[in-house]
Structures are given as structure tokens and as C-alpha cells.
A and B are shown apart, each in its own frame.
Chain A
Amino acid sequence: MREVAIVGAGMTRFGELWGQSLRDMFAEAAVGALNDAGADHVDSIYVGCMSGGQFVGQEHLGPLMADHLGMTGVPATHVESACASGGVALRLAYMEVASGMSDLVLATGIEKMNDGADVTNVLATAADQELEVYYGVTFPGLYAMIARAHMAKYGTTEEDMAWVSVKNHRHGAMNDKAQFPGEVTLEQVMASSMVAAPLRLLHCSPVTDGAAAVLLCPLEQAKEYTDRPVKIIGSGLATGSMALADRADPADLDAVQRSARSAYKMAGVGPRDIQVAEVHDCFSIAEICCIEALGFVEPGTGKDAAREGFTALGGCVPVNTSGGLKSKGHPVGATGIAQAIEVFTQLQGKAGARQVENARVGLTQNMGGSGASSVVHIFQGV
């Protein structure tokens, strides 16, 4: 396999983008990535999107997006793995370049969630329709059950979870692309309205429109496009049981652990080597479970990390310096690519006020459903 680098990135602001349709957002992000690299063509396009079909009634996204980039004729593939669609699109783009099949590949993620669709019902299609949704459970409900299992097993508290939101909003306040860049206090999180006990509104990521794109090429060609390419040194994708009832322990995210293990093995690094990470905090409890599964902390101790500053900027492993899904926003299909853009920017040393000093190795973790799919990438500055 060839070594592969990211050489350009582009994204829209995240938020309620009423004035932009799905295709407009795609074009803005894709052109941003091409311009960033000074590239005038691509060999292939991947479009990560959870559900254009249900959110805006549009499928067949590959050719549509190629068309709106003025690149009709170029191979374009729609990738779906629920909220991990973007991360999986990145993995497929990586594989296409690494294999030698293509030289210049655009990995993108898009989602338009604020367009009148019943978001609760659409997101629930990433859970088990027959065994979970049929009975009235929602996505926050599934993560609430993960939270309660984690609380019973490890003594995690509502306040521990609230600290994750406080930390991520503090980071997001420095990100001009974030949907909710304001800081929140512990008291505000703890007093916000209940969505699915024990998860409150400010434990939940928002409903977001947005698009993100990165351009990949073989490392040996990277200097044609940028002075500061970032190598992808590991990629891991894994699955877990779809229904929460079928997991050995609902407090543990097995797929995250498996995907991390294969990415670490491929990269030849371990959790202690990671200096900056973007982790899938769709709900505050998810960040706690994920940093345990990624090996940043011991199982059961994730609850302390945000409060003690271990995962804050300036801490041992800054997690979600972009603001994470919580503050930056979570346009589901775009999230995995937006995570890669944050780590790309950090490893290029261009993250401004939220720069992690001397960051050389970074990680992204993006998951689908209640954790039934997870994809991890590891990056290294060149």
C-alpha cells in the first residue's frame, strides 16, 4: 500500500443553514478543499451522508454532487454508516489512494437536518427498527440507557457528564465554524430540560446542517499541493451488536474498542502517543465511554477526565478541541470529515487559539447508531 496524506480541507459553517441546500453546502466544502490544495481535478469522490433520502427526499448523491462540482463524469460513491458515514467515506477514500487505484480523491460528508423532516424519527432509523424503535425508544433514550448502565457499573454521575459539555463548549467558543460557540456553566447544564433521563438538553448534540471535505493523495505527491501535508497512518472500522439488548454490557462500546485496536496496530502507535483527538460526543456520556474504549483512560475512570482537565486544552490528551459534536454541531454524515479537518488543522499547527502545542500525532473516532459501527483514524504531521 502507498502512504497517503491529506493535502486540503474545506467546510461550511455548522448550524441552521436555511439559505443553503444540500448541494450548495457540498459545493462550498468541496471547492474549499480543492482551493486549499490548489487542485483543479479529482479522480474520485466519496460522499458520506446518513440519510439524504429521509431528511430532504434526495438519494443518488454521488452523481448529483459530482454534477454540482462541475465534475460530471468523475466516479462518485455515496457511503452510509449512520452518524459514522463521514468517517467511513474517509476510510474508503484512503483505501482508494493507498491501493494505487486513484491519485487524487475527495472525501466528503454532508447532511441537511433542518428541513422539516421529523429528525427524531429519521435518526432512529440508525437503531434497530424491529426491536427498539417499534417500542418507542429514541436516540437520546438509547444513550441514556448506556449512561445509566455506566452509572450503575462505575459510579459515574450526572455532574461528571455535565463537565463534558462544559469543556466542549469552552473549546467550541474558539471555533468560528461552530453552531453553538457560547460557553455554558455546570449549573446551566444541570438545570437544562430533561430529554431522556438522565440526559438533559445540554448533554445532547444539536440538529445541524453542514458539509466538510478533505482531499487525499499519495504522500510522495503531497508537496505539489501543500507545504504541510498530514499523513493517515492508521484506519480501523468495526461493528458491534445493533440492539443495545444484545450487547454483553451496555456500559461498554465494543465496536469503538475494536476499531481503535486495529487503527493503533496499523499505525504502530498506542493511546499514550495521541496528542489531540476528536471523539464522537453525540451525547456527553458517549465521550466518557469512548475515551475509555480508546484507551486514553482506564475503564470506569472516564468520568473524571473532563472535570480534572485531562481531556481539556492544556491537559494530557485534549479531546474535541473543535468543540466536538456538542458545541460545533453534528450534521451526522459530515461529522467524521469535520473531525478529520480539526486534527489536520491541529497537526498543521494552524488551529489558532485552540492550537495544541507541538501536536504531531492525532486521532479521530466517529460512530454510528448507539455504537454499532465505529471508525478510527490516526494522523501524523509530516
Chain B
Amino acid sequence: MPSPRYTREIPSRYRLEAGRCKGCGKVVYPARRICPACRAADFETVNLSRKGTVVTSTVIHVPPDEFLMEAPYAMAVVETPEGARLMTQVVDCDPSTVLPGMEVSLEFRLIRKEGKSGILCYGHKGVPVA
């Protein structure tokens, strides 16, 4: 699947900038136009802490083709102290140790290479806090 190129063109995504709804306080990452909780359309920018806690996780043993060389790898839903949740890989550890409750730091990393020309796709990955 082609990656959405605008992921690279929207700076707030790779800066981990979330939106906090001015109506109800909900924090959403990436920022949206309309609050999913209260439908207000007025947000302020919040810089997410570059850390979080694993809410749930898995270890992918049968990966998409583009991730073939990395399997098995851990993936997790991570919640930051601001209340934003994001899907990330958790790396630099034994993937079977990535379980709910684990504390991770969020680091800017290469996610994958897209297509035959190998366009680099960046994003965040979790790394266990030592």
C-alpha cells in the first residue's frame, strides 16, 4: 500500500504535536478538525511528552511484506501523560516483554521504505525505559 505522503508534509505529525479541545479538554493525536468527543472545532496545540505507557500490545509474527525483515516485532497502543494514544512499534528489546503497563520513551525513527524506489517513511517508535 502506498503510504500517505502528507504524513511527511504535516510537521505536527513528526513533531508529536497533538490538539487539545478547548471545549472538553480531550487530547487527540494527530490533530483533527473536529473533536471526536464533543464536536467542537477549536483546538490548542499540545507538545506530547516523548514517553508513555503501553495500553495493549501484540507481537507480529506474520507481517506485511514491507516489514518482512523485522518480524517478529512488537506493536503497542501507547498512552502519553497528556492522554493521547498512538499506535507504535516497540523496539530495542525482546518483543515478548512488551506488555500492558510497560513504560516507553517515544523516539523518532525510520518506520519503513516505501515502494521499489525505497522512499524513507519516518515516525515514532517506542523504546522501553531502562
**Residues in A lying within 8 Å of B, measured CB to CB:** 118, 120-121, 124-125, 129-138, 140-141, 144-146, 148-149, 152, 193-199, 241, 243-246, 250
Interchain pairs with CB closer than 8 A, number: 113
Partner of B56, one of A134, A148, A199: A148
13 pairs from A and B in contact (CB 8 Å cutoff): A120-B62, A120-B65, A131-B86, A134-B7, A134-B123, A136-B111, A136-B112, A141-B75, A148-B57, A152-B56, A244-B56, A245-B86, A246-B85
- A118 to B1 CA separation, bound complex (whole angstroms): 10
The answer to whether B111 and A121 have CB atoms under 8 Å apart is no
Instruction: List residues of chain A with CB within 8 A of the CB of B56.
Output: 145-146, 148-149, 152, 244, 250
Name B73's closest neighbour in chain A (CB-CB).
Answer: A136
Instruction: List residues of chain A with CB within 8 A of the CB of B87.
Output: 131-132, 135, 137, 243-245
Residue from A137, A140, A241 having most chain B Cβ neighbours under 10 A: A137
Instruction: List residues of chain A with CB within 8 A of the CB of B111.
Output: 134-136
Name B6's closest neighbour in chain A (CB-CB).
Answer: A130
The answer to whether A124 and B64 touch (CB under 8 A), given A141-B75, A152-B100, is yes
- A336 to B42 CA separation, bound complex (whole angstroms): 40
- A118 to B99 CA separation, bound complex (whole angstroms): 29
- A124 to B89 CA separation, bound complex (whole angstroms): 16
The answer to whether B61 and A195 have CB atoms under 8 Å apart is yes
- A131 to B86 CA separation, bound complex (whole angstroms): 8
Instruction: List residues of chain B with CB within 8 A of the CB of A133.
Output: 1, 64
Extra A-B contacts (8), CB below 8 Å, given A129-B1, A135-B75, A197-B59: A120-B62, A130-B4, A136-B70, A136-B111, A137-B75, A146-B56, A148-B56, A194-B59
- A137 to B30 CA separation, bound complex (whole angstroms): 18
- A83 to B11 CA separation, bound complex (whole angstroms): 34
Instruction: List residues of chain B with CB within 8 A of the CB of A195.
Output: 61-62
Instruction: List residues of chain B with CB within 8 A of the CB of A194.
Output: 59, 61, 72
**Residues in B lying within 8 Å of A, measured CB to CB:** 1, 3-4, 7, 28, 30, 36, 55-67, 70, 72-73, 75-77, 85-89, 96, 99-100, 111-112, 121, 123
Instruction: List residues of chain A with CB within 8 A of the CB of B62.
Output: 120, 138, 140, 195-196
Cβ distance A283 to chain B, nearest Cβ, rounded Å: 11
Cβ distance A156 to chain B, nearest Cβ, rounded Å: 13
Residue from A145, A193, A194, A195 having most chain B Cβ neighbours under 10 A: A145
Instruction: List residues of chain B with CB within 8 A of the CB of A148.
Output: 56-58, 99-100
Instruction: List residues of chain A with CB within 8 A of the CB of B112.
Output: 136
Instruction: List residues of chain B with CB within 8 A of the CB of A140.
Output: 60, 62
Residue from B7, B70, B87 having most chain A Cβ neighbours under 10 A: B87
The answer to whether A135 and B57 touch (CB under 8 A), given A124-B64, A125-B1, A195-B62, is no
The answer to whether B85 and A245 have CB atoms under 8 Å apart is yes
Cβ distance B68 to chain A, nearest Cβ, rounded Å: 10
Cβ distance B93 to chain A, nearest Cβ, rounded Å: 14
Instruction: List residues of chain B with CB within 8 A of the CB of A137.
Output: 58, 60, 75, 87
- A59 to B12 CA separation, bound complex (whole angstroms): 36
- A195 to B67 CA separation, bound complex (whole angstroms): 14
